[in-house]
Chains A and B, each alone.
Chain A
Amino acid sequence: GAVVSQHPSRVICKSGTSVKIECRSLDFQATTMFWYRQFPKKSLMLMATSNEGSKATYEQGVEKDKFLINHASLTLSTLTVTSAHPEDSSFYICSARDSRSYNEQFFGPGTRLTVL
């Protein structure tokens, strides 16, 4: 149980375009989902926290207009990178908190974004 999927697993896009990444909890309801980005050989950096039905909470330094997060249902959250630039190229990982679990987040497999 507690499986989280992400789609797509990798995407290549041109500079200036927008890219949407989906994060789904497959067998549980996720009241809270987290979005991270990870640069090569670096640790995970929390970008934002999204709660179902409410606005996401962004970490300091993360542009909310650049990284649009929608958490419209208990099993789906999306991250849209708007007007992508090469510096947005990174590994984006989502995690989800099971509403029944005490203190655990389950991670998706990640999405590799390359902006040309």
Chain B
Amino acid sequence: LAKTTQPISMDSYEGQEVNITCSHNNIATNDYITWYQQFPSQGPRFIIQGYKTKVTNEVASLFIPADRKSSTLSLPRVSLSDTAVYYCLVGGLMDSNYQLIWGAGTKLIIKP
């Protein structure tokens, strides 16, 4: 089972780029890496997903080194509304043996 490790909390300021790293040393071959954002008393919201190298969408980038033992979520030019908990999820839905191991989450606080 892949176990993930994330920083418990991070602070940054509006307009800055924020990078949150997740360690997953035991990631399996079929596992994908997915990042979610969660606000209090709401369900998680999908941010980005990747398998290897770099993935970019309209809200974030995901960097995954060749050994896939870690991944870094990059949020460009954050705003106050990006204050939330960010979860790194390692696992896959490709077969019936779902292994969905959630990290403890990183509480990101954006200051003005």
Residues of chain A having any CB pair with chain B under 8 Å = 4, 6, 32, 34, 42-46, 49, 51, 91, 93, 95, 97, 102-110, 112
Number of A-B contacts (CB under 8 A): 52
In the complex the two chains form, is B43's CB within 8 Å of A43's CB? no
Residues of chain B having any CB pair with chain A under 8 Å = 32, 34, 36, 41-46, 49, 87, 92-94, 96, 98, 100, 102-105
In the complex the two chains form, is A46's CB within 8 Å of B103's CB? no
Give CA–CA (A45, B87) in the complex, Å.
12
Give CA–CA (A45, B104) in the complex, Å.
10
7 of the cross-chain contacts (CB-CB < 8 Å) are A34-B98, A46-B102, A93-B43, A103-B92, A104-B46, A107-B45, A108-B43
Q: A103-B49, A103-B93 are in contact. Are A44 and B44 (CB under 8 A)?
A: yes
In the complex the two chains form, is A32's CB within 8 Å of B93's CB? yes
Report, nearest first, the 3 A-B pairs whose CB atoms are least far apart. Answer: A107-B43, A43-B102, A110-B43
Q: Which residue in B42, B92, B93, B100 is a CB contact (below 8 Å) of A109? A: B42
Give CA–CA (A83, B104) in the complex, Å.
29
Q: Across the interface, which residues of B come within 8 angstroms of A93, CB to CB? A: 43-44
In the complex the two chains form, is A46's CB within 8 Å of B100's CB? yes
Q: Across the interface, which residues of A come within 8 angstroms of B34, CB to CB? A: 103-104
